[in-house]
Amino acid sequence: MSLSVKDLQHSVAFYKKLGFSVFAGDKKNYVIMKNGNALIGLFQGMFQGNILTFNPGWDENAANVDPFDDVRKIEQHIKEQGVILTSEVSTGSEGPGSITMIDPDGNMILIDQHR
């Protein structure tokens, strides 16, 4: 889950109270926090609204997993299901890429492949 927050440090302090610890991020614009297998991204001034985020090829520790379905294969499957994408993979035939869509309730979904 990627949350758009008003005050990054205030949000970090709040989620620490819930048992999360800082896992990654630049600590000025965004922080990724972890509690067990649960991850939450806190982003200040980077986008509006909250985003459900999936990262093909990574586990919850941002470690590579193999095999995995490439985002292009996922994109093809989603299109075959009749889902309208708001952005499509725009680079090459392999490697990093992302797609986005909106669920029926207006929530953004991001499938963001980093490798």
Cα–Cα distance for residue pair 1/100, rounded to 1 Å? 14
Cα–Cα distance for residue pair 23/34, rounded to 1 Å? 6
What count of Cα atoms within 13 Å lies in the side-chain half-sphere of residue 28? 1
Comparing CA positions, the residue from 45, 34, 37, 54 lying closest to residue 108 is 54
Per CATH, the homologous superfamily of domain 1-48 is: 2,3-Dihydroxybiphenyl 1,2-Dioxygenase, domain 1 (3.10.180.10)
Decide whether 1-48 matches 50-115 in CATH topology: yes
The domain segmentation of the chain, as residue ranges, is: 1-48, 50-115
CATH 3.10.180.10 applies to domain 50-115: yes
- What's the whole-model pTM score? 0.79
How do residues 7-57 score in pLDDT, each as one tens digit? 999 999 999 999 999 999 998 999 999 999 999 999 999 988 899 999 999
How do residues 47-98 score in pLDDT, each as one tens digit? 888 999 999 999 988 899 999 999 999 999 999 999 999 999 976 788 999 9
